[in-house]
Amino acid sequence: NFSFLLHHRNLQKRHLQGERGGPGEQPLKVKKRPFSCATCGKEFKSKDTLRFHQMVHTNAKKYKCTMCEETFKYAHSLTVHKRKHTGVTPFKCTVCNRSYRTGTALKRHSIVHTGEKPFTCHICGARFSLNNNLKRLLIHQRYVTLSWLIE
């Protein structure tokens, strides 16, 4: 279709001119995430990424562990799960040589060596390296406060 080719050539020209139109024309806007999820509206750069995301909205668990029958939505989740059975821990700490099943677990562990304490209690200002330790403190404080009120 000739009009389509003409339109495409015009868009290409505008793109090569820095995505600016001529006088009185709006700048050409290229959608960076053209694929959107029909369920939640989240946008993605590729069809494959959209398809992977859409698994979030289903209950389908098509990946099954042959060792214990547990099922998973994602192949990667099954791979990580199998490490429980095999004992494989491919993520190794370069400081102390401890190893972990996931990169996330290794990252969480590495805070031990840096001394970083990114989680702060908004009540007393105590700082913690792990969010779980902060949560435990807050639960403990609620218990202490309640037991003090009862006495």
| Segments forming the whole domain that contains residue 139 | 119-150
Please check whether residue 130 lies inside any domain of the structure: yes
Please check whether residue 136 lies inside any domain of the structure: yes
Please check whether residue 142 lies inside any domain of the structure: yes
The residues facing 8 across adjacent strands are none
pTM above 0.85, yes or no: no
Please check whether residue 126 lies inside any domain of the structure: yes
Q: What are phi and psi of 99, to 5 degrees?
A: -130, 155
CA–CA separation, 111 and 117 (whole Å): 8
pLDDT, tens digit (0-9, with 9 covering 90-100), for 95-110: 999 999 999 999 889 9
Give exposure, 70-109, as e/b (b: 16+ Cβ within 10 Å).
eebbeeeebebbbeeeeeeeebeeeeeeeebbeeeebeeb
- pLDDT given for residue 129 in this prediction: 77
CA–CA separation, 86 and 67 (whole Å): 10
Residue listed under structure tokens 């992977």: 52
Locate 76 and state its tokens.
């990667």
Average pLDDT over the chain, rounded to an integer: 78
Ranges 5-9, 47-51, 75-79, 89-93: which has the least confidence? 5-9
Please check whether residue 124 lies inside any domain of the structure: yes
Please check whether residue 138 lies inside any domain of the structure: yes
Please check whether residue 19 lies inside any domain of the structure: no
Please check whether residue 131 lies inside any domain of the structure: yes
Q: Looking at the 3D structure of the chain, how many domains does it have?
A: 1
Q: How many residues does the chain have?
A: 151
pLDDT, tens digit (0-9, with 9 covering 90-100), for 49-71: 998 888 888 888 889 999 998 99
